[in-house]
Amino acid sequence: MGLVLPFELALLWLAKDAPAFVFEILFLVLITPPFVAAFTAWTVSKPNPHMRDSYGVPPFFATRPLTSAQLIAAKLQMAMGSTLAAWLLVFVALPLALAWSGTWSVMMDRVQRMNGAIGASRAVVFVMLVLTGFIVTTWKQLVQSLHIGLTGREWLIKGSVLLTLTFLVLLGPIVEWFIDSPSVQRASWNALPLILAGLVALKMSAAAWIATRLNRSRLLGDRALFVGAACWCVAVLALYAVLVWFVSTPFVAHYLLALIAILAVPLVRLAAAPLALAWNRHR
């Protein structure tokens, strides 16, 4: 991150007379931490990141007097520390680059236009949502493959990587086909509530199954499961409240915002990580 960011910010000195280019550079800077995190995710999820081809848990690591949940918590804390360090670098370097390159006025002009269009309070909330979304996405990229990497099964890990790369290759043609097909767009928009509801049903069913397995295997106690579920519900309700306040329009139903909030807050893959590590440690 520290090697890529200076080259991106240096482009601001070439964009003084091109406001659109300035915001393209800002967007590039904001998506860099999640993009870099995606490439380092497998290192975080490996049981032993110091060994290149290590998939299983080493004997010393497996027999340490720590529960699987405690080991997962340590990895999550490490991912959070890495995320905060990366974004601290962005928050320090970006204002300095805007001021020194003379493009600060370009950004402030657009901010004032947005304040006039939607109001100062909504403009602040919009900026905070965007920044929070990028920060959470960075952390999520680091831990989203945790449940797969900790299984220690080489076939599962490499198969997941192959599936992800295949999806990325097909994503461009699928998006282009969707843009060039107005009928598909209309059908997708009409079916959006059912699609979101189906995804929520799958997510909650998987979460219930994982919670049952965690309880039966004693990897997490009843109190830990209750606290985790309560924290997740609070995060969903907070995001839903912000979305309802921000999108105050009769064209968007509130239940759609609730479904979006449920899908946006991570749950299943994080909850599956202790099961994956326990499966690896005790094989």
The pLDDT profile of the chain, 283 residues, written as one tens digit per residue, is 667 788 888 888 877 667 778 888 888 888 888 878 776 666 555 555 555 555 555 544 555 556 666 777 777 888 888 889 889 999 998 989 888 888 888 888 888 888 887 777 778 888 888 888 889 888 887 777 666 777 767 777 777 778 777 877 887 788 888 888 888 888 888 899 999 999 999 999 999 999 998 888 887 778 888 998 999 999 999 989 988 887 766 667 888 999 999 998 888 888 888 887 777 765 5
What are the DSSP calls for 140-173, one per residue?
HHHHTTHHHHTT--HHHHHHHHHHHHHHHHHHHH
Cα–Cα distance measured from residue 117 to residue 173, given in angstroms and rounded to the nearest whole number: 35
pLDDT at residue number 60: 43
Cα–Cα distance measured from residue 75 to residue 81, given in angstroms and rounded to the nearest whole number: 10
Q: With contact defined as beta carbons under 8 Å apart, do 147 and 214 qualify?
A: no
Whether this prediction's pTM lies above 0.85 is answered by no
Token pair of 135 as six digits: 């920060």
Tell me the helices (H) and strands (E) count for the chain, helix number first.
Answer: 13, 0
Considering Cα of 146, then 151, then 152, then 154, what sign does the dihedral take? Answer: negative
Give the helix ranges, DSSP H, for 46-153.
59-62, 68-101, 104-118, 120-143, 146-149
In Å, how far are 118, 233, 253 from 125, measured between CA atoms?
11, 21, 20
Amino acid sitting at position 37: A
